[in-house]
Amino acid sequence: MLRKVILPVLALAAAGAACSPVPRTITPPASGPSQTPALPTIVTDTPVGVTDTPIPPPALPVIASPALLQIDFQSSSNGWALADGAILRTVDGGGTWFDATPDGLTGIGYSTDIFVLDDNHVWLQVPNADFYTGRLYRSSDGGLTWSSFPVPFGGADIQFLDADTGRLLADRGAGAGSNAVELYQSGDGGASWTSVFHNDPSQPGWSEALPLGGIKNGMIFLDGSTGWVTGTRPVDGGVYLYLTRDGGVSWSQQSIPLPAGYESYQFLPQPPIFFGAEGFLPLNISVPGGGYWQTFYVTHDGGSTWSGDPSDGDRIVSDPGRYSFADPLHGWAWDGGSVFHLTSDGSQTWDGMAAPLILTGGLSQLEFARGPGSGFTGWALTAVDDSGRAQLYRTDDNGVNWTPLLP
């Protein structure tokens, strides 16, 4: 599943709050795999339709050295990517990229939304020039053939629970700290969509259950009924986390426990990440006096309750950056500099390791998946540089050593 990550844009909270927790100081190891935190061996279920069994190269043309914009890996071998003007897939972990672009489609770029369900099923949402309508493309055979449908939305967050059941949160315009959205659902793989909720007061049937105020940054559904929308609003002590239990028809704010003395802090949650009933709620925190932290609340009951403690320095990653979880225990987070932080206990503690990567342009995306045996394979995609290129790195030893795949 593609997990969009948006870095925080928060106003600094007012000074005068209780003393801030101090994250434990991490000194990156000088070098050497022997200093890497140990990873316990666990067994996790493989999502339906996702396999790490070698797949024969598809009957598609190869693109040498593509200009990647976004990546999505389902396993250590199989993945997809958006490039400038193309959609690509790989069956060898990113060493070779095949052009799976639908015939006649142009305009693929930053405004294109992609959702990957498994090795075969993928959807592309391409907005029209007005950004309020568009066209949805669907493939069920790994990009060999595509169907397309006109849709009444442009930019959107897309999620499919299976090959038929989809949800989509469409952007209906933002301004002055407010953001109108409309939620659609599909039961036929995206061929048709039904609007189930919108909060645009200029349109009939609107609802304030999901407030117009606040900039929404993502949506995730756990099943056909239960879902979340997250966002940001410059309100001290408030967490913009809204929950639905009826497929998006009605919404209510879900509270999470915050330590005493945090009433003057500001928070930016990101959409939850789930592995069955286990999950993480990424939370960026604006620290009084300047700076940001990142922590991750956890759930063991499918998001009914969340637990966490941002006053516990062991749970804090300073300077929020890109992150990725491979399973309910193992996650990686970048601190914006030269260090990756690793958790092997479900974000209760984080350890630092040196990141021997050239990230002067910033890290655009971080992805990890279970590799062969008990290890993990990861990819780091940098931001596009002045020449219009991004660098892609791969690790096969949990993040200790990285190999450049694209210059």
Residue 276 pLDDT class (50, 70, 90 cuts): very high
Least confident of 48-52, 94-98, 298-302, 387-391: 48-52
Q: What is the mean pLDDT of residues 273-290?
A: 93
With cut-offs at 50, 70 and 90, classify the pLDDT of residue 48.
very low
Average pLDDT over residues 51-60: 73
Tell me the pLDDT tens digit for each residue of 235-247: 888 899 999 999 9
* 255: Cα separation from own chain's centroid: 22
Q: What is the pLDDT of residue 254?
A: 97
Q: Is the dihedral of CA 83, 88, 94, 96 positive or negative?
A: negative
Rounded to two decimals, the pTM is: 0.85
Are 13 and 284 spatial neighbours (Cβ–Cβ below 8 Å)? no
Q: How confident is the model at residue 134 (pLDDT cuts 50, 70, 90)?
A: very high
CA distances from 123 to 55, 117, 127 (A): 20, 8, 13
**CA of 192: how far to CAs of 41, 157, 195, 226, 343, in Å?**
43, 16, 10, 21, 41
Identify the bridge partners of residue 393 per DSSP, sorted by sequence position. Answer: 380, 404
In this prediction, residue 264 carries a pLDDT of 86
CA neighbours within 13 Å on the CB side: how many for 368? 26
Average pLDDT over residues 18-38: 35
pLDDT of residue 53: 63
Question: Residue 52: pLDDT band by 50, 70, 90 thresholds?
Answer: low
CA distances from 125 to 133, 197, 261 (A): 10, 20, 43
SS3 of the chain: helix, strand, coil, percent, to 5: 0, 40, 60
> Where are the alpha helices (H) located in 23-145, listed in sequence order?
none
What percent of the chain is modeled with pLDDT above 70? Answer: 86
71 vs 40, more confident: 71
Q: How confident is the model at residue 51 (pLDDT cuts 50, 70, 90)?
A: low
Average pLDDT of the residues of the chain:
85
pLDDT at 7: 34
Residue 41's Cβ-side half-sphere holds a number of Cα atoms within 13 Å equal to 3
One-character DSSP codes across 184-220: EEESSTTSS-EEEEE--TTSTT--SSS-SBSEEEEEE
The pLDDT, as a whole number, for residue 272 is 98
